[in-house]
Amino acid sequence: MQVIFSAPENLQVIELLTDAGDKFGELPGWTVYGGVMLNGQIKTAILTKEPDVTAERITAAQAAALEAKTLAEETAGNLNAAVTELTMAMAGGVA
C-alpha cells in the first residue's frame, strides 16, 4: 500500500468507484502520501496536497500590507494630534 501511494504520479487523479467498479467521481491533486491509519481491520490511506507556496506568499504579503496600513493610520492620527497641540500651544491656547 505504501509503495503505491508513495509515488506522486499514482495520485494525480484518484478515481472514485462504486462497489461494481463504475466511476462516479474523481479527486485531483492529491500528491503526498501521509501514512496509513488503522481502525480495527480497516486501513485508511492518508493523502495530502503539496503546499501552494505562491498562495502562502500572497497571504503573508497581504497580512503585512494590512499591518503596515494600520500602523500608518495610527501614526498619522498621533501626528495630527501632536500638530494640533503644538499649534494651540504656540497660539497661547490649551489643547
Integer Cα distance of 92 and 82 in angstroms: 15
What mean pLDDT is predicted for residues 61-80?
A: 91
pLDDT interval class at 77 (50, 70, 90) = confident
pLDDT digits (tens, 9 = 90+) for 21-70: 888 988 777 777 777 888 888 878 787 777 778 888 998 899 999 999 99
Q: Could you tell me the pTM of the whole model? A: 0.41
Residue 71: the pLDDT is: 92
Residue 94: the pLDDT is: 55
User: How far does the chain reach from its first CA to its final CA, in angstroms?
Assistant: 76
Integer Cα distance of 95 and 91 in angstroms: 10
Q: For residues 84 and 65, is the Cβ–Cβ distance under 8 A?
A: no
